[in-house]
């Protein structure tokens, strides 16, 4: 199998099972502050948490900055390890002045001791790069949102309603199961009370369908992060409620986890469908991935089939996760797979004895070889030279994909095809196609799979 193909599916499987087991919910609640370029995200965070993260009129925030309870600053690497940094390095990294590859999911962790982060750090705030600034920064923010439980979407009061495409609102709503709260910032720049009333009416009109029963629908807070006329009371109160309301946090985390899982499943099913269609086309022509250098073997196709079944089963147990046409695809894929790679039936073929020349399927049981009709499945006549009453046993091991042979303390011994004599009672592993013999080379037994895979006798 193409390395990438199997790895990709393994990653999805791991993500889905983490959501299913509820592991995603055993961490702090993550709140993303997001919004368009220069809407005042970082300024609001500075005011709320008494921080001095870089706020500049032109340079964009280029990395996710995670505000958490504690002291010091860290750079969080892709694998989760943390490297301590100075405040100066922190600012340079955030503004992209240090040559950090921003396409890597590297975050900066800034610690502070605000009680808005909960008594024991139950809440984390993620400051994100501007949405719809550059595709690269939007992608970073979107990936961060996939790991967050609630989004606070910041608007600029002066440009309200002029840029947020319905699509962005829908996307956030979907991604977080409605865990979205809206903030209209820069209200200090509105000239009159009439202007403010106008923005309030527009907000109601635009946002009233977004949200959920936990946060409310179209929940909108008004703020100013102007250094000269700050007004963050409404947002502070909201965060304060959250940090002290455990039940609400749990409900929000559950709602977010369910919709993240749904999002991951939908994406996975799409990719699985694409790969399976390509593998099926390949199976018809005998080359499952249509690339002769990287043929999928039957084990890999089976893994793909198992993942597809798992994904469909999980999606089937979730409300509003349409899988109708995918079930048909799975049936078709199964049929093709079994045609392409018929199930293996481990079997033996003794060359002598009562069943000489006959294929005997193991059918999951341990089979015994010898002269005793009471105990043995593969029988030899009384007086057969070299064969004991109960001579040896053989069983198929699915995990090792091979046979296990053991000598039962026979008088003349059991031998591998290279002539090595088995130590009685010890287990020997044989690959399908390998032979062994009882006492004498004439009593050879061949192993393999029923029907087609035996050597010619
Ligand atoms: N008057 C006024 N200025 C603000 C307000 N909020 C932010 N600013 C100013 O707007 C500029 C950009 O603010 P930032 O906090 O960096 O905005 P941001 O959304 O974090 O920007 P990016 O992360 O780069 O997308 C700064 O010069 C702030 O001082 C506000 O409410 N009122
Ligand atoms: Mg910023």
Q: How far apart are CA 455 and CA 442, in angstroms?
A: 17
Query: pTM of the prediction?
Result: 0.73
Given a cut of 50, is residue 171 above it in pLDDT? yes
Given a cut of 80, is residue 250 above it in pLDDT? yes
Q: How far apart are CA 145 and CA 123, in angstroms?
A: 15
Single out the residue of 432, 442, 416, 437 nearest to residue 361, CA to CA: 432
User: Contact, 66 vs 110, CB < 8 A?
Assistant: yes
63 Cβ closer than 6 Å to some ligand 1 atom = no
Domain match, 267 and 226 both: no
Single out the residue of 57, 54, 17 nearest to residue 37, CA to CA: 57
Query: Which one of 222, 256, 290 terminates a domain?
Result: 256
Most confident region among 20-29, 131-140, 167-176, 414-423 by mean pLDDT:
414-423
130 Cβ closer than 6 Å to some ligand 1 atom = yes
- Please, which residues bridge with residue 128 across strands? none
Q: Is 221 helix (H, G, I), strand (E, B) or coil?
A: strand
Domain match, 434 and 382 both: yes
| Nearest-CA residue for atom 13 of ligand 1 | 40
Domain match, 303 and 359 both: no
Q: How far apart are CA 327 and CA 21, in angstroms?
A: 25
Domain match, 42 and 162 both: yes
Domains held by the chain: number = 3
Structure tokens at 358: 């006959």
Given a cut of 80, is residue 188 above it in pLDDT? yes
Domain match, 121 and 141 both: yes
User: 3-state DSSP helix/strand/coil percent for the chain, to nearest 5?
Assistant: 40, 20, 40
Domain match, 210 and 280 both: no
Given a cut of 70, is residue 252 above it in pLDDT? yes
pLDDT tens figures, 343-385: 778 999 999 999 998 999 998 899 999 999 999 999 999 989 9
Mean pLDDT of 272-289: 78
The closest-lying atom of ligand 1 relative to the alpha carbon of residue 128 is 23
Q: How far apart are CA 226 and CA 211, in angstroms?
A: 28
pLDDT of residue 281: 82
What is the span of the domain harbouring residue 330?
257-340
pLDDT of residue 291: 47
Q: Is 5 inside a domain boundary?
A: no
Q: How far apart are CA 82 and CA 72, in angstroms?
A: 11
Structure tokens at 133: 């600034």
Given a cut of 90, is residue 288 above it in pLDDT? no
Residues of the chain with pLDDT > 70, as a percent, come to 89
Q: How far apart are CA 402 and CA 251, in angstroms?
A: 50
Q: Tell me the residues surrounding ligand 2 (ion) with CB < 5 Å.
A: 41-42, 61
Measured torsion, CA atoms of residues 158, 162, 164, 165, in degrees rounded to the nearest 10: 180
DSSP β-ladder status, 123-127 and 82-85? unpaired
User: What is the distance in A from the centroid of ligand 2 to the CA of 110?
Assistant: 14
Residue 79 binned pLDDT confidence (cut-offs 50, 70, 90): confident
pLDDT tens figures, 308-323: 999 998 888 776 666 7
Domain match, 267 and 172 both: no
């Amino acid at each position: 199998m193409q390395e990438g193909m199997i790895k990709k599916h393994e990653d999805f499987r791991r993500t889905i099972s983490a959501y299913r087991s509820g592991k995603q919910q055993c961490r702090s609640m993550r709140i993303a502050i997001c919004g368009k370029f220069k809407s005042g995200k970082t300024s609001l965070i500075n005011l709320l948490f008494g921080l001095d993260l870089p706020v500049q009129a032109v340079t964009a925030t280029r990395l996710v900055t995670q505000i958490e309870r504690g002291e010091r600053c860290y750079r969080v690497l892709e694998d989760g390890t943390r490297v301590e940094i100075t405040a100066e390095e922190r600012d340079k990294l955030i503004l992209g002045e240090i040559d950090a590859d921003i396409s890597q999911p590297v975050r900066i962790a800034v610690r502070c001791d605000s009680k808005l982060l909960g008594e024991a750090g139950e809440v984390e705030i993620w400051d994100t790069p501007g949405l719809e600034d550059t595709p690269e920064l939007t992608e970073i923010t979107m990936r961060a949102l996939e790991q967050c439980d609630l989004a606070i979407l910041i608007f600029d009061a002066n440009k309200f309603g002029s840029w947020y495409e319905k699509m962005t609102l829908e996307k956030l709503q979907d991604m977080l199961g409605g865990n979205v709260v809206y903030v209209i910032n820069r209200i200090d720049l509105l000239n009159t009370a009439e202007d403010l009333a106008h923005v309030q009416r527009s907000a109601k009109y635009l946002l009233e369908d977004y949200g959920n029963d936990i946060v409310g629908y179209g929940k909108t807070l008004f703020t100013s992060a102007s250094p000269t006329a700050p007004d963050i009371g409404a947002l502070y109160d909201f965060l304060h409620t959250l940090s002290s309301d455990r039940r609400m946090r749990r409900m929000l985390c559950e709602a977010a986890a369910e919709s993240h899982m749904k999002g991951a499943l939908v994406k996975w099913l799409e990719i699985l469908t694409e790969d399976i269609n390509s593998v099926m086309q390949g199976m018809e022509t005998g080359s499952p991935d249509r690339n002769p250098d990287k043929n999928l073997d039957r084990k890999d196709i089976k893994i793909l089939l198992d993942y597809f079944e798992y994904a469909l089963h999980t999606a089937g147990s979730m409300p509003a996760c349409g899988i109708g046409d995918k079930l048909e695809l799975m049936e078709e894929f199964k049929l093709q797979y079994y045609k392409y790679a018929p199930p293996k039936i481990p079997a033996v073929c003794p060359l002598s004895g009562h069943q000489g020349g006959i294929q005997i399927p193991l059918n999951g049981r341990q089979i015994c070889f010898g002269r005793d009709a009471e105990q043995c499945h593969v029988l030899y006549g009384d007086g057969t030279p070299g064969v004991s009453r109960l001579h040896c046993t053989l069983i198929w091991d699915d995990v090792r994909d091979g046979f296990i042979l053991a000598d039962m303390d026979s008088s003349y011994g059991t031998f591998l095809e290279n002539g090595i004599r088995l130590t009685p009672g010890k287990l020997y592993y044989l690959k399908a196609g390998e032979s062994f013999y009882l006492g004498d080379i004439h009593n050879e037994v061949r192993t393999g799979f029923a029907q087609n895979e035996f050597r010619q006798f």
